[in-house]
């Protein structure tokens, strides 16, 4: 699988109301801007194609499943949760 290179997040395709129940849009953007520690392929039976794990500016550790649009190098966040 080729490396994931995310140029931008696509909020217009994302379920924003669902995602923001656990983290703000700013926090999710911070995780991607700070260089997530993990970009992993997700299980085949899941809606999202990849997962990012990283920290916000405040140090909060989040897991963010997303759909990777390889044609445009964009990510569509699907949901997120805090690591314990």
pLDDT of residue 72: 94
From CA 73, how far away is CA 12, in angstroms rounded? Answer: 15
If we measure between CA atoms, which residue out of 67, 69, 62 comes closest to residue 78? 67
pLDDT of residue 83: 87
From CA 28, how far away is CA 56, in angstroms rounded? Answer: 7
One pLDDT digit (tens) per residue for the chain, 84 residues = 567 889 999 999 999 999 999 999 999 999 999 988 777 676 666 778 888 999 999 999 999 999 999 899 999 999 999 987
Q: Which residues pair with 41 in a beta bridge?
A: 50
pLDDT of residue 44: 67
Report pTM.
0.86
pLDDT of residue 30: 96
């Amino acid at each position: 699988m080729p490396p994931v290179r995310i140029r931008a997040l696509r909020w217009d395709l994302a379920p924003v109301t669902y995602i923001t129940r656990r983290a703000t849009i700013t926090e999710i953007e911070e995780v991607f801007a700070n260089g997530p520690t993990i970009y992993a392929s997700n299980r085949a039976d899941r809606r999202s194609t990849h997962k990012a794990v990283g920290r916000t500016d405040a140090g909060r550790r989040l897991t963010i499943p997303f759909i990777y649009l390889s044609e445009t190098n964009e990510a569509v966040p699907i949901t997120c949760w805090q690591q314990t």
